[in-house]
Structure formats: C-alpha cells, structure tokens
C-alpha cells in the first residue's frame, strides 16, 4: 500500500510523521490506513493507490464543513489567486470578513486574524494577559499545542488528562510557567471557584469551550460569566471546533452567554488556513499594547475562503443539515449496536458526535471496525463530523454497511476471534510517542 509505505518514509524524516496528532494513521488502523490522499471531492477521498472512499469519519478533522473541494469556496479562492494573494498592501477581504463576523456576533467589536487554531488561542491568551496585566489562566478542555496551555502539565503529569488529549508532555515548556495554567472540569463550578479563591487577583482569563461533550448544567455558563466579570478576568470561548457547526457562528449564540473573546478556526474556511480572534473593543484594544504580528496572517486566501464558506453556510442553512445527518448517524450507531447485541455509548453534539464500545476489548473492536469499514469503502472511526456534502443516499448506504460491520464484531466477540481478525496492530490512542 503506497500510503503506508510513504508514511514509513515520513516517520524517518518528519518527527511523528505528520503535523497533526489526529491525522496519524496509527490512530486509526496501523499498517492499513490509506494515510495520504491524492484527490478529494465532496465526501470522497482517493488514496495513492487510486482507491476511493466515502469519508464517514472526521472530514478534515472538522475543517471541511461544506465538503472537500467545495466549488463555491474554491472558485472564490482561485479568483483571489489570479488577482494575487500577497502584496505590500493589505487584502480588503480582511475588513469584509471582520464586518461579517461582527454582524454574526453583535457582542463583539473587533477582530484579529491568524491561520491556525492553536496560534489563535495563543493570541487570545496574550491579549487577555496584556489587558489584565495578570499571568494565570483557568481553563477547561483542549486548546492546542502552545506553551501557555501545556504549562498545566509542568510538574503535574495528569492535569491535562481529562481535557480531551491525555498524556501531553510539556517538555520544552519553560519551568517558570509552572502554576500559570490551572485546569477545571466542565460543569464543575466548584473547581473553578476554588481556583478563583486562591488566585482572584492573578487570573487573566478563563478559557473554555462553551459546550462540547456534555450540555452545560443549568446556570453553569452564566455563573462563569458572572465570576469572570466580578474578578476582572477575560472570558475566552474557544469555538475552534464548535464554531460554524450548530449555528451561523459560535455555539455560544445558542447558549445565550457572551464571552469577552471568541476564537474560530477549522470550519470557518472549509479547510483553508484561517483563524479569527473576535472580542469586545475594550479587551481587543490590548492587542495594540503588545506585539502580535506575522507576515502570513495577511495573505488573502484565508479571508476569501472564510467569506465564501460563511456565506454559503448561512445561505444553505448548513447547520441544519449537519445536525440532521449527525443525528441519523448517532441513531444508526445505537440501532446497529442494539441489533448486534454490542454495548455502545454514543454522545456529543449531533454535528460533532462519537461513540465508544463499552467492552474491555474496546480498542481491538474499534480497530476492527475501522478495518471492516475500510474494506467496504468507508473511512470510519468512532467519531463523525458531518458535512454539507453528505447526502441522504450516502448516509443510508453507510448505515447498511454499519449494521453488517457491527454484526461481524459481535460474532467475533462470541467466538473470541476479534484480535485475530485484525490484519495489523491495534490502533493507538491519545498522545503516545510514535515509535
Ligand atoms: C477546542 C480546540 N481548541 C484548539 C484546537 C487547536 O486547533 P489547531 O489544531 O487548528 O491548532 C483544537 C483542535 O482540535 C480544538 O478542538
């Protein structure tokens, strides 16, 4: 298989083999995952061997919300390329996009841009620290690779373990940052209160996703908003993954709580590199009092792609489609599991859903599931991030294949053959050094 062979080369010359943990083939199906794509369109991905699969997994890790190579977004990008993407002058689309983001989020007054999610979070945290003149950050959830965040694991190996990616190592993060990133768990307001109690005057920001796996407990977000305002900390909502999936903009618009800063990336530009930090004028002005500046944050493709993506997202009510398709797949997982007699727990937002087998051989089962589905022509794992390009027909076909796959899994459990049916090693989970 050309893809896996190429990944073997990559592992020797690119540490980790790829730039994103979630694209490591060993996380899906070691030695069998197609690993690289030659072409992608709609929901279809063609690998280096010329095999085409329907992506019923993560659609560009949540970035390609409209589908791969969306014709409207790509037309706008190609026109921008023809007119030049980087000059000594600025791209006017930056202003147009800022106006659009502010129209969607009326609580915000100013916008800055970068090109990745993690770097946008680093910008947001810098602005919060500059605005408050304080150092510490209380946070919940995963927020990228930056020093400010990994500092939570300095001297305390397990602080980040319940925050989406367990085992993140803080090597290379200055020891001096120890004690500056203080974790609390979602819906555990008392944990935040206890952080606030001992750090009232040193908290620059409270950083969190407004919602991800669980619904907010009644009053949870409102209480956080009140605490942030009371102690003068900046409330930062990380909407990198939740933005432009449940509504036109951040999910916080549905939850009726306004932050001081919200951060977008991924779905906002359908896979083109783009991220935005939006915030109240008062807080965002602090970006002027510190140095936040980079050449490639001024190129034209990102804003052009974001404008085309967001306009299409609104025009076609894409969020409704994602929610409908996501609900069908979630129901499909549950129904297929029930029919096969497998124990499975499905959870998450419909447009960001996932499941887990409730079985001691869970990892063997998920690996075998991916192997069986790949043979049936699907990229499938325990997560599903629907896109506008997923059709009813594709979902129906997937659900038939799914029932068949789950029946095979159940039978393998009965016979004790699950592990022996695997044609390669079991998938890796979390952050483990890739050997
Ligand atoms: C909530 C959240 N924050 C930050 C990030 C990091 O974004 P990026 O991978 O674009 O750096 C992610 C990525 O998955 C995310 O889900």
- Map out the domains of the chain as residue ranges: 2-69+317-421, 71-315
Q: How far apart are alpha carbons 290 and 127 in whole angstroms?
A: 8
* Residue of 160, 181, 213, 266 to mutate, ligand 1, most atoms within 8 A of C-beta: 266
Locate 151 and state its tokens.
Answer: 């500092």
- What is the structure's pLDDT at 370? 98
Q: What is the tens place of the pLDDT at every residue in 133-165?
A: 999 999 999 999 999 999 999 987 777 777 767
- Residues with CB under 6 Å of ligand 1 are 116-118, 121, 141-144, 209, 238, 240-241, 265
Give 31's Cβ-side CA count (13 Å radius).
6
DSSP structural state of residue 426:
P
Q: 178 CA distance to ligand 1 centroid (A)?
A: 22
Q: 380 CA distance to ligand 1 centroid (A)?
A: 21
Fold of 71-315: 3.40.640
* Residue of 209, 265, 302, 383 to mutate, ligand 1, most atoms within 8 A of C-beta: 265
Report which ligand 1 atom has the smallest distance to the Cα of 265.
10
Domain 2-69+317-421 shares a fold with domain 71-315 = no
Largest Cα span, the chain: 67
Q: 251 CA distance to ligand 1 centroid (A)?
A: 15
> Strand pairing of 234-238 and 203-208?
parallel
Contact between residue 242 and residue 352 where contact means Cβ atoms under 8 Å apart: yes
Q: How far apart are alpha carbons 124 and 77 in whole angstroms?
A: 27
Q: 62 CA distance to ligand 1 centroid (A)?
A: 10
Q: 213 CA distance to ligand 1 centroid (A)?
A: 15
Q: What is the tens place of the pLDDT at every residue in 116-137?
A: 999 999 999 999 999 999 999 9
Query: Which residue in 189, 190, 262 sits closest to 219, CA to CA?
Result: 189
Contact between residue 312 and residue 73 where contact means Cβ atoms under 8 Å apart: yes
Query: Mapping DSSP to helix (H, G, I), strand (E, B) and coil, where does residue 379 land?
Result: strand
Report which ligand 1 atom has the smallest distance to the Cα of 242.
1
Fold of 2-69+317-421: 3.90.1150
Distances (CA, A) of 275 to 118, 369, 415: 9, 34, 49
> Residue 362: left (phi > 0), alpha (psi -120 to 50), or beta?
alpha
Q: How far apart are alpha carbons 136 and 204 in whole angstroms?
A: 5
Query: Mapping DSSP to helix (H, G, I), strand (E, B) and coil, where does residue 408 land?
Result: helix
Locate 159 and state its tokens.
Answer: 């602080």
Report which ligand 1 atom has the smallest distance to the Cα of 61.
14
* Residue of 23, 59, 63, 117 to mutate, ligand 1, most atoms within 8 A of C-beta: 117
- What is the structure's pLDDT at 232? 98
Determine which helix (DSSP H) or strand (DSSP E) holds 344, and give its type and residue range.
strand 344-349
- What residues contact 288, with CB distance under 8 A and at least 6 apart? none
- What is the structure's pLDDT at 164? 64
* Residue of 19, 59, 114, 144 to mutate, ligand 1, most atoms within 8 A of C-beta: 144
Q: 254 CA distance to ligand 1 centroid (A)?
A: 21
Alpha helices in 351-423 (DSSP H): 362-375, 392-415, 418-421
Q: How far apart are alpha carbons 303 and 273 in whole angstroms?
A: 9
Return per-residue pLDDT of the chain as tens, 435 residues: 899 999 999 999 999 999 999 999 999 999 999 999 999 999 999 999 999 999 999 999 999 999 999 999 999 999 999 999 999 999 999 999 999 999 999 999 999 999 999 999 999 999 999 999 999 999 999 999 999 999 999 987 777 777 767 778 889 999 999 999 999 999 999 999 999 999 999 999 999 999 998 899 999 999 999 999 999 999 999 999 999 999 999 999 999 999 999 999 999 999 999 999 999 999 999 999 999 999 999 999 999 999 999 999 999 999 999 999 999 999 999 999 999 999 999 999 999 999 999 999 999 999 999 999 999 999 999 999 999 999 999 999 999 999 999 999 999 999 999 999 999 999 988 655 443
CB-count burial class (<10 Å; 0-12, 13-18, 19+) for 294: exposed
- What is the structure's pLDDT at 435? 37
Query: Mapping DSSP to helix (H, G, I), strand (E, B) and coil, where does residue 197 land?
Result: helix
Q: 376 CA distance to ligand 1 centroid (A)?
A: 31
Contact between residue 367 and residue 374 where contact means Cβ atoms under 8 Å apart: no
Locate 421 and state its tokens.
Answer: 């049916």
Q: How far apart are alpha carbons 315 and 309 in whole angstroms?
A: 10
Alpha helices in 133-202 (DSSP H): 147-150, 189-199
C-beta pairs of 1-8 under 8 Å, 24+ apart in sequence: 1/32, 1/34, 1/49, 2/36, 2/47, 2/48, 2/49, 3/33, 3/34, 3/35, 3/36, 3/47, 3/48, 3/49, 4/31, 4/32, 4/33, 4/35, 6/35, 6/36, 6/48, 7/35, 7/36
> Strand pairing of 136-139 and 181-183?
parallel
Q: 120 CA distance to ligand 1 centroid (A)?
A: 9
């Amino acid at each position: 298989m050309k893809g896996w062979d190429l990944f073997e080369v990559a592992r020797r010359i690119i540490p980790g083999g790829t730039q994103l943990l979630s694209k490591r083939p060993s996380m899906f199906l070691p030695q069998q995952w197609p690993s690289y794509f030659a072409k992608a369109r709609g929901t279809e991905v063609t690998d280096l061997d010329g095999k085409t699969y329907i992506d019923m997994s993560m659609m560009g890790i949540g970035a390609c919300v409209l589908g791969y190579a969306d014709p409207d977004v790509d037309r706008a990008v190609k026109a921008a390329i023809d007119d030049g993407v980087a000059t000594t002058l600025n791209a006017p689309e930056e202003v147009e996009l800022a106006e659009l983001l502010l129209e969607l989020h009326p609580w915000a007054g100013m916008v800055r841009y970068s090109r990745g999610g993690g770097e946008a979070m680093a910008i947001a945290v810098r602005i919060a620290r500059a605005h408050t003149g304080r150092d510490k950050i209380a946070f919940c959830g995963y927020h990228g690779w930056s020093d400010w965040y990994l500092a939570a694991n300095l001297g305390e190996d397990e602080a980040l373990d319940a925050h989406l990616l367990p085992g993140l190592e803080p090597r290379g993060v200055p020891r001096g940052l120890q004690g500056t990133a203080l974790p609390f768990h979602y819906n555990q307001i008392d944990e935040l209160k206890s952080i606030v109690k001992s750090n009232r005057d040193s908290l620059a920001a409270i950083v969190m996703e407004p919602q991800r796996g669980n619904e907010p407990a009644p009053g949870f977000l409102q209480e956080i908003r009140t605490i942030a305002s009371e102690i003068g900390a900046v409330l930062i909502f990380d909407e990198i993954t939740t933005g432009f999936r449940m509504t036109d903009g951040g999910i916080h618009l549905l939850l009726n709580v306004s932050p001081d800063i919200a951060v977008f990336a991924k779905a906002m530009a359908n896979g083109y590199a783009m991220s935005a930090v939006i915030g109240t004028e008062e807080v965002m002005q602090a970006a002027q009092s510190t140095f936040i500046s980079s050449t490639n944050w001024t190129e034209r493709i990102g804003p052009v792609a974001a404008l085309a993506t967001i306009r299409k997202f609104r025009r076609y009510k894409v969020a409704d489609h994602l929610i409908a398709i996501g609900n069908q797949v979630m129901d499909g997982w549950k129904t297929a599991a029930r029919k096969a007699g497998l124990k499975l727990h499905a959870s998450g937002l419909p447009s960001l859903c996932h499941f887990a087998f409730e079985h001691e051989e869970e990892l063997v089962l998920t690996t075998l599931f991916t192997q069986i589905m790949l043979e049936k022509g699907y990229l499938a794992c325990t997560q599903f991030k629907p896109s506008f390009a997923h059709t009813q027909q594709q979902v129906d076909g997937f659900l038939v294949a799914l029932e068949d796959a789950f029946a095979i899994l159940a039978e393998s459990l009965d016979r004790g053959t699950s592990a022996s049916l695997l044609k390669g090693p079991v998938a890796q989970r979390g952050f483990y050094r890739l050997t």
